Structure 1
């Protein structure tokens, strides 16, 4: 229930415990807590233990800015849910954040649709625009991403970083004299890593923008570079990806080695192979696909275009194998009698997403291969139909579903799902009945209801 509503709402109870107004500043709340804590402390007032506990609980909520916002908006039930899985949904700023994300996604998806529309009419020779004009919507998207990432990096550089519960628990085993120094060192490393990731993402966008410019210049014949030169920004981007993946792999390896210290050689080999595969499989497929694409565009190889797209087929095959393995695990748990409804639900959701998305994506890939092999076989407008379907669904989700979801969360949490208007039912619209007797009784007049029933039901 919202704290702004009148009457004796849950948002006023804790304020009454501390004896402060709902709009009291944090300093006044802290001062009131100290005064009451001294007055009702069990050492001074043994009979006021319950009141002292209530004062501490009230200050624990009102003394924390985030908990206070949640309490003012959703009441005590919202505070109790903060540590649950639904806790992130209680953030008072969540609705605004989701609406901002929805607006950004809608704008980006709209620009991508415009770009693909321009591209289809240009490649099909419906218009004679230069490709640098066709790419303008993508350049706008790149500019928006650069602005957002720059603002995010500036905000992250000024934000205070904290350790999570596991890291704090690990620090508790360190001697007290070294604990603060180690905490500061970890926070410093986290800040540097956050800054590094932010700069790396910014460089990704810059390189991708440069790649788009090179492609547009090459298509407009302003330059006569080979595909290898045009793809240089892309390969630099993948080199940075390899650096990031290498750091991630080294960190994961450092965590796995102590765990596998007492394991047999076969288990160690399997763990290392699985870790290497899980980190690098997608990177390897991307690099192989880019190399095949460059060689085929430059006609250094003359194979069928379907062979060039083999890495793309392998991505779908990998996810199909993952679904089959998940299905095997679900059936194994079902046979053993241990219920794993979470994995079963994950399998069915993944299967539906894979079938729908895979059908559209690989329909597009098949049409693209046919177009590249025979340039007059398929019009680009038809070739892009699966892509437009996917983008259309995402566009509807971002501009309609996501804002409605955000508003629904805030409304339901503020008012409660059970706070629907309840109306008194007039007595003349009530009909009563009794539970059936243990032995069958012949109904009178064909009715199974008794005239002396006591349980009311509503007649619509």
Structure 2
């Protein structure tokens, strides 16, 4: 696209952003593939590696996320601010506060995840003899933060409920309003309840306080799968406008005895390999092809220079309040 006259209308800064995204995604997917492979080998006892060695690729992923996400989270969003100078300054201050809160939240999430991984490694290598409930303390802290955030967003949505029904314009009754508030709360906390219940069952199973098998432990995951399947089914039925007498959605997770972890991780390997191939090979090649001039343009297309956004000449009608970039004298 950059080798055509139309390419001069696009911002050339997106090239560096796309390259960074391709590189980071390729690196993360490659490290996750290596981690899953080492984990399957260690669980199958094909090798006697220490668990600290197995988790090295995952810690490299954590390092990449710390270097990449934390500075990005602390960076305030840049948007066009129009109006008086005091209004622009207040918007900039608000964006700076939001960026600071976002950066602190992202840092806390990553630090708690790293501490959780370290505790798992220390427990599996027998350096500490803590129970699974104690090892999961960073995870409980993460879910406590998620509980507060979900509650704040749910309360904000409840306060924003209009007095009148947007579809009919008629005032909503008390029952309809309570049903809408309950739906908001369920939508905010259902996935949190699934995660916490699954973690509790795993902790009880690891500590030997639950005598059921692992398929029973993962019942919350099955419920989440069934819910998503039902949502997709309802959306498909609405799009197709087909009435069915009965519709069922089943979710089943099965790990028969005798199958190695390498077989269990086959879907993960396929997904991560496709992601790695797309971000490391296919997408960069397609992106580089945009720089090749077309046959119709020839050498003239190759000489077209992409103009940065802040140096373009734009047109706005007289009397309009549209904020335009500074014109460049040619």
Q: Give the TM-score category using the shorter length.
A: 0.7 to 0.9
Given candidates 371, 393, 397, the residue that maps to 2:274 is 393
Would the alpha carbon gap of residues 278 and 181 (structure 1) be closer, same or farther in structure 2, given more than 3 Å must change?
Answer: farther
Q: Provide the aligned C-alpha RMSD in A.
A: 3.1
Deviation at 1:262, TM superposition (A): 2.2
Would the alpha carbon gap of residues 188 and 290 (structure 1) be closer, same or farther in structure 2, given more than 3 Å must change?
Answer: same
Determine the structure 1 residue equivalent to 2:123.
218
Deviation at 1:283, TM superposition (A): 1.2
Whole-Å Cα distance in 2 between the matches of residues 406 and 270 of structure 1? 49
User: Residue 366 in 1 paired to residue 260 in 2?
Assistant: no
Greater Cα radius of gyration, structure 1 or 2 = 1
CA-to-partner distance for each residue in 1:344-382, whole Å, 9 max, x for gaps? xxxxxxxxxxx9xx9xxx78x422xx4xxx5xx221222
3-state SS of 2:161 partner: helix
Would the alpha carbon gap of residues 203 and 327 (structure 1) be closer, same or farther in structure 2, given more than 3 Å must change?
Answer: same
Does the aligned pair in 2 maintain the 1:95–1:407 contact within 8 Å?
no
Determine the structure 2 residue equivalent to 1:94.
14
Does the aligned pair in 2 maintain the 1:146–1:205 contact within 8 Å?
yes
TM-score by length of 1: 0.56
Whole-Å Cα distance in 2 between the matches of residues 195 and 74 of structure 1? 36
Determine the structure 2 residue equivalent to 1:129.
49
3-state SS of 2:47 partner: coil
Does the aligned pair in 1 maintain the 2:112–2:138 contact within 8 Å?
yes
Consecutive unaligned residues of structure 2, counting only runs of 5 or more, are 244-248, 299-330
3-state SS of 1:366 partner: coil
Deviation at 1:160, TM superposition (A): 4.5
Determine the structure 2 residue equivalent to 1:74.
7
Whole-Å Cα distance in 2 between the matches of residues 136 and 305 of structure 1? 27
Determine the structure 2 residue equivalent to 1:271.
180
1:343-362 matches, cutoff 5 A: none
Does the aligned pair in 1 maintain the 2:70–2:106 contact within 8 Å?
no
Would the alpha carbon gap of residues 390 and 2 (structure 1) be closer, same or farther in structure 2, given more than 3 Å must change?
Answer: closer
User: Residue 299 in 1 paired to residue 232 in 2?
Assistant: no
User: Residue 188 in 1 paired to residue 93 in 2?
Assistant: yes
User: Residue 288 in 1 paired to residue 197 in 2?
Assistant: yes
Deviation at 1:257, TM superposition (A): 4.4
Determine the structure 2 residue equivalent to 1:114.
34
Would the alpha carbon gap of residues 204 and 191 (structure 1) be closer, same or farther in structure 2, given more than 3 Å must change?
Answer: same
Whole-Å Cα distance in 2 between the matches of residues 268 and 403 of structure 1? 51
Whole-Å Cα distance in 2 between the matches of residues 188 and 249 of structure 1? 25
1:30-45 matches, cutoff 5 A: none
Whole-Å Cα distance in 2 between the matches of residues 215 and 104 of structure 1? 26
1:164-243 matches, cutoff 5 A: 184-243=89-148
Whole-Å Cα distance in 2 between the matches of residues 269 and 406 of structure 1? 51
Does the aligned pair in 1 maintain the 2:26–2:276 contact within 8 Å?
yes
TM-score by length of 2: 0.77
Deviation at 1:148, TM superposition (A): 1.1
Higher relative contact order (CA 8 A, sep 6+): 2
User: Residue 143 in 1 paired to residue 143 in 2?
Assistant: no
3-state SS of 1:127 partner: coil
User: How many residues are paired up?
Assistant: 289
Determine the structure 1 residue equivalent to 2:25.
105
Determine the structure 1 residue equivalent to 2:153.
248
